Chains A and B, each alone.
Chain A
Amino acid sequence: MSELSVSTAGQIPALQIIVPMLAAPLCVLVRNARASWLIALAASGVSTVTAWLLVLHVGEHEPIRYALGGWLPPTGIEYYIDTLNATMLLLVSGISTVALVYARESIASSISSDRQYLFYTSWLLCITGLMGIAITGDAFNVFVFLEISSIATYSLIAFGKDRQALIASFRYVVMGSVGASFILLGIGFLYAATGTLNMVDLAARIPVTESPRAVLVAFSFLTIGLMIKAAIFPLHAWLADAYHRAPIAATAFLAGTATKVSLYVLMRFFYSMFGVDYSFGSLFLNWVLLPAAVGGFVIMSLVAVFQTDLRRMLAFSSVAQIGYIVAGIALATQAGLTAGIVHIVNHGVIKAALFMAVGCILLRAGHVHRPSLDSLYRRMPFTCTAFLLAGFGLVGIPLTAGFVSKFQLIQALLERGLWPIVVLVLASSLLAVVYVGRVIEIMLFREGRSSEGAASGGVEHGHSTGIHEAPLTMLVPMYALLALMFWIGINGEVTLDLAGEAARQLLEGMRVLTPGGVS
């Protein structure tokens, strides 16, 4: 693999997008639940492999610049792939594949079989959009793929079991459209100021533009738009309902990927195109992002403590964790960016595993209302253990991936002398101990009322009667993610090196090379 020549690497970027994009209509054509699941899984698997090849390739070569359809930029659309977006591609496709394996049983129980093919179609469109955002080197193309992924996400959420899913989806439509419009306006202003949409050209022209005001306006629109899409506190309102009401397999996938891709766009725009000096030096973006980040991880962790529905709890925890990532990004240092990027990957894996565990409980118990989950550990030991281990990751217990990112983040904060923020990061970790711990405690022990019957081993009580372990097809992908989480937690250097390289490239800005890959 390592000696992938330029000519063979040349077509992989296109395959990355084309495979899931063409697989989506195929699902509609076959109209069969099982077949469309297989198609989606295969397409997602192929994407994972191609993403893996890209990661290997950019690890040893210059960033790939691929002119789509042979049309050279600025006429045509260019794909620009460096370590950062290759990593994002691998994250999106990898989590999608694992979540699809998990999804079949979970979806079969919540969506009628004649509509399941639509769900998988939406899923494929969603990963097409997300990967498209990550791969493209064209600012307008970012918007196009953003819309594809957003619309697909709206429908994924609307597939939720109860009717409130429609309201949640509609709320997201409104918020998402506002965000997308802001982003579109921002890109429009950039085009007006520079006359180009190609990212590399934008990076070269923004510093020397003759209309700095237009760039300033573009900057403002993009900031707000991306903050909405990435669910950065306080613009996160859509997220809790969406994660809560969507089918749980979709939530596991979206929680691991969707907001992360928006964070990628944020880094791409503010670091690669506007440049560090402009974004953080002249415009003090850190004064916007850092308070938002801190507010996010403190307040949202606190909110998570008081949620009784596990899905809502994890959703608010997601906003908090996004706060850690944003804090890293806002530092605008090598160490800070590394922390942010590594946490994008680590949190993606951890949160997907957590939602999968919750999905298993939902499947068997029919609800995930915390106070009613007492002594679940005895009935679903593997699921509860998975929740416990992934919960360790969320808290940042050593040997889990969460520890690696937290260690890196705190080091980056100390490097800048931001003591008070370190204290708040640690305080919010302790809140995570509380909200994860409360769930574990209830799973482990009986409530006082049912202790009598259970002690004698005879009478099973009320609501939890007949609950048993989740099916293997759901447990295996969940444990695969956990194994990955421990692997990147114990061999933290693997992800840290990748993130460090990505951070270095971001801080250097986009390199102007002659576009290659045209065969």
Chain B
Amino acid sequence: MNEIVNPIITLLPPLLVLPLIFYYGEANRNFREGVIIAAGVFLFIANVMIYRDVMAGAMPVSGEIHLLAGYSLKLSAEPMGVMFGLLASFLWVVTTVYSIGYMRDHDEPFQTRFYACFAIALAAVMGAAYADNLLTLFVAYEVLTLSTYPLVTHSGTDKAKRAGRVYLGILMCSSIGLLLPAIIWVASLAGTLDFVPGGVIADSGIGRTGIAVLLALFAFGIGKAALMPLHRWLPAAMVAPTPVSALLHAVAVVKTGVFAMLKIVTYTIGIDTVSASGAAQWLLPVAAFTIIASSCVAFTKDNLKARLAYSTVSQLSYIVMAALLATTMSVTGGAMHIIMHAFGKITLFFCAGAILVTAHKENISEMDGLGRRMPITFAAFAIAAIGIIGLPPLGGVWSKLMIAGGAMDINVFWALVLMVSTLLNIAYLLPIPIRAFFSPDPGVAPGQPSPRQETSAPMRWSLMLTAAISLVLFFYPAPLVELLALVQWR
């Protein structure tokens, strides 16, 4: 390795594939989806190359475009970004394979538009992952909001349109109304928007109250992190086709939100500045409330995707809480939780989609005995659910322990919140596979075996793969830990 990879290449595969998507269109859908998978593989390889460079101690950077006086658009690779880039590009490939099964089995219209918006969204995620400064991050954030709007409103029904309004309304209002002024405030305080280890505002004379307000502007301005009361867009976005819910609204979009939060705490405000100012003590209760309250709401949801959405809201606040605790351990744990939760939750959504397409069921109360018809799907569901809960032998346990460990340094109460939430997770996630496997199947006579009704191959393999990876991450989290050890905190 003599040449360091320019992070700009991560934008190319999803953007270059766009004309091909339109060129092949509906007429040649095998080609259309083939090139998307090829692009996804290229994108993943690019991310692996960047990962290799970063592990070798290099800092890949791109050129810059001067957008405003003194502020530019620029990409660079730092450990957390590399991690997020790897995650999103890998899951894009898997989700595309899954989508082929889902979209065709479900006879969805406008598939070309669907795949095109998906690719733009991925480019935006890459831009966010490798953003070298707040401005670039903001640009990518807004592009992501706008490119996912047509996906949320995909079906064009009145319900989808209403959901689209909520989606765009909350995300745009928070980003323009809170995040943008926060960014401009940082710009006028520090004179720079660059991500610098230790933050840029420590010496600006902003004061403790100022930091508290700034942190609140960021925490609520990043609506994608779904802190209550700005979480309503996420359940609303569940009207989208399931692959969108799986990749974008369990991984890419929401993780861009919490990823931005981690980056800002680490590189804009600085973890020492956050903890020294005590600014987070006003926000930690909000994160804790979100964790508990959304778990409680998840209980009441009979619709599977809605329950999973509220579970995501709760899990996102783990990461927000990790960022607000602002210790090296908790932030590392938060970054790891991005990965662990991603594999778990995408599996759960894949399963939900498979159940919808194959058995045409959306509500948990109708899934009695379904596990015996779709054993693979529900086995994967059970594994992923245990991962989300954070029990061994699944990867989720590591990140949860690290966040809790960070919390112990600050205040035991926050660790307690995490434990209570674990109990709640058990209570609303595990009954689903238990019911599916052990309740009597209403469709067959007692004592008779249920007919096998497993989902189609692309979907089945996708969800098996992601479930397997969340299992592997328990035994083999080392690459992740080594990567995150490279983060410069100060």
Complex partner residue of A500 from B69, B168, B172, B173, CB under 8 angstroms = B69
Given A411-B184, A422-B181, A444-B153: A492 touches B176 (CB 8 Å cut-off): no
* B residues in contact with A491, CB < 8 Å: 65-67
In chain B, what residue has the closest Cβ to A438?
B165
Does chain B have a CB within 8 A of A410?
A: yes
Q: How many whole Å from A456's CB to the nearest CB in chain B?
A: 11
* B residues in contact with A441, CB < 8 Å: 161, 164-165
Contact string against A for B residues 140-160, beta-carbon threshold 8 Å, 1 for contact and 0 otherwise:
001100100010010011100
Contact B176–A404 (Cβ < 8 Å)? no
Does chain B have a CB within 8 A of A414?
A: yes
Given A397-B146, A407-B184, A426-B176: A433 touches B156 (CB 8 Å cut-off): no
Does chain A have a CB within 8 A of B188?
A: yes
Q: With the chains together, A430 CA to B165 CA distance in Å? A: 13
Contact string against A for B residues 385-406, beta-carbon threshold 8 Å, 1 for contact and 0 otherwise:
0000000000000000000000
Contact A430–B177 (Cβ < 8 Å)? yes
Complex partner residue of B68 from A397, A408, A455, CB under 8 angstroms = A408
Stretch at the interface among A24-32, A243-251, A445-453: A445-453
Q: With the chains together, A398 CA to B73 CA distance in Å? A: 11
Does chain A have a CB within 8 A of B139?
A: yes
Q: How many whole Å from B210's CB to the nearest CB in chain A?
A: 12
Given A426-B176, A493-B68: A397 touches B142 (CB 8 Å cut-off): yes
Does chain A have a CB within 8 A of B166?
A: no
Contact B142–A426 (Cβ < 8 Å)? no
Given A397-B142, A426-B181: A490 touches B188 (CB 8 Å cut-off): no
Q: With the chains together, A490 CA to B288 CA distance in Å? A: 40
Contact B139–A399 (Cβ < 8 Å)? yes
Given A398-B138, A410-B180, A429-B176: A445 touches B66 (CB 8 Å cut-off): no
Does chain A have a CB within 8 A of B475?
A: no
Contact B150–A444 (Cβ < 8 Å)? yes
* B residues in contact with A291, CB < 8 Å: none
Contact B185–A414 (Cβ < 8 Å)? yes
Does chain A have a CB within 8 A of B483?
A: no
Does chain A have a CB within 8 A of B187?
A: yes
In chain B, what residue has the closest Cβ to A392?
B146
Near A by CB (< 8 A), chain B positions 157-203 give 157-158, 161, 164-165, 168-169, 172-173, 176-177, 180-181, 184-185, 187-188
Contact A410–B66 (Cβ < 8 Å)? no
Contact B187–A490 (Cβ < 8 Å)? no
Contact A493–B156 (Cβ < 8 Å)? no
Given A441-B161, A444-B150, A444-B153: A490 touches B172 (CB 8 Å cut-off): no
Contact B67–A433 (Cβ < 8 Å)? no
Near A by CB (< 8 A), chain B positions 344-359 give none
Near A by CB (< 8 A), chain B positions 86-119 give 109
In chain B, what residue has the closest Cβ to A500?
B69
Contact string against A for B residues 54-71, beta-carbon threshold 8 Å, 1 for contact and 0 otherwise:
000000000001111100
Near B by CB (< 8 A), chain A positions 477-498 give 489-493, 496-497
Does chain B have a CB within 8 A of A415?
A: yes
In chain A, what residue has the closest Cβ to B72?
A493
Contact B188–A411 (Cβ < 8 Å)? yes
Q: With the chains together, A488 CA to B150 CA distance in Å? A: 27
Q: How many whole Å from B406's CB to the nearest CB in chain A?
A: 33
Count, chain B residues at interface, CB 8 A: 33
Q: How many whole Å from B142's CB to the nearest CB in chain A?
A: 5
Contact B69–A493 (Cβ < 8 Å)? yes
* B residues in contact with A408, CB < 8 Å: 68
Q: With the chains together, A397 CA to B187 CA distance in Å? A: 18
Q: With the chains together, A410 CA to B153 CA distance in Å? A: 32
Q: With the chains together, A437 CA to B153 CA distance in Å? A: 13
Contact B139–A398 (Cβ < 8 Å)? yes
* A residues in contact with B135, CB < 8 Å: 398
Complex partner residue of A496 from B69, B150, B158, CB under 8 angstroms = B69
Q: With the chains together, A490 CA to B381 CA distance in Å? A: 45
Q: How many whole Å from A212's CB to the nearest CB in chain B?
A: 38
* A residues in contact with B181, CB < 8 Å: 410, 422, 426
Contact B150–A404 (Cβ < 8 Å)? no
* B residues in contact with A444, CB < 8 Å: 150, 153, 156
* B residues in contact with A399, CB < 8 Å: 67, 139, 143
Does chain B have a CB within 8 A of A35?
A: no
Contact string against A for B residues 431-461, beta-carbon threshold 8 Å, 1 for contact and 0 otherwise:
0000000000000000000000000000000
Q: With the chains together, A83 CA to B65 CA distance in Å? A: 24
Given A433-B168, A444-B150, A445-B161: A404 touches B177 (CB 8 Å cut-off): no
Most buried by B among A392, A398, A404, A414: A398
* A residues in contact with B109, CB < 8 Å: 455
Q: With the chains together, A399 CA to B146 CA distance in Å? A: 13
Contact B177–A426 (Cβ < 8 Å)? yes
Q: How many whole Å from B221's CB to the nearest CB in chain A?
A: 11
Contact A490–B67 (Cβ < 8 Å)? yes
Does chain B have a CB within 8 A of A18?
A: no
Contact B156–A446 (Cβ < 8 Å)? yes
Q: With the chains together, A248 CA to B77 CA distance in Å? A: 49
* A residues in contact with B177, CB < 8 Å: 426-427, 430
* B residues in contact with A397, CB < 8 Å: 142, 146
Near B by CB (< 8 A), chain A positions 459-515 give 489-493, 496-497, 500
Q: With the chains together, A392 CA to B161 CA distance in Å? A: 19
Contact B184–A410 (Cβ < 8 Å)? yes
Q: With the chains together, A426 CA to B180 CA distance in Å? A: 9
Contact B168–A437 (Cβ < 8 Å)? yes
Q: With the chains together, A496 CA to B67 CA distance in Å? A: 10
Given A407-B184, A411-B184: A433 touches B164 (CB 8 Å cut-off): no
Q: How many whole Å from A415's CB to the nearest CB in chain B?
A: 7
Q: How many whole Å from B367's CB to the nearest CB in chain A?
A: 30
* A residues in contact with B187, CB < 8 Å: 411
Contact A404–B173 (Cβ < 8 Å)? no
User: 9 A–B contact pairs at CB < 8 A?
Assistant: A407-B180, A426-B180, A433-B168, A437-B168, A441-B165, A444-B156, A445-B153, A490-B67, A496-B68
Known: A445-B161, A451-B156. 10 other contacts (CB 8 A): A404-B68, A410-B181, A430-B173, A433-B169, A437-B165, A444-B153, A445-B153, A451-B157, A492-B67, A492-B68
8 tightest CB-CB pairs across the interface, nearest first?
Answer: A398-B139, A493-B66, A445-B156, A492-B68, A410-B184, A492-B67, A426-B177, A414-B188
Q: Which residues of B contact A (CB under 8 A)?
A: 65-69, 73, 109, 135, 138-139, 142-143, 146, 150, 153, 156-158, 161, 164-165, 168-169, 172-173, 176-177, 180-181, 184-185, 187-188
Q: Which residues of A contact B (CB under 8 A)?
A: 392, 395-399, 404, 407-408, 410-411, 414-415, 422, 426-427, 429-430, 433, 437, 441, 444-446, 448, 451, 455, 489-493, 496-497, 500
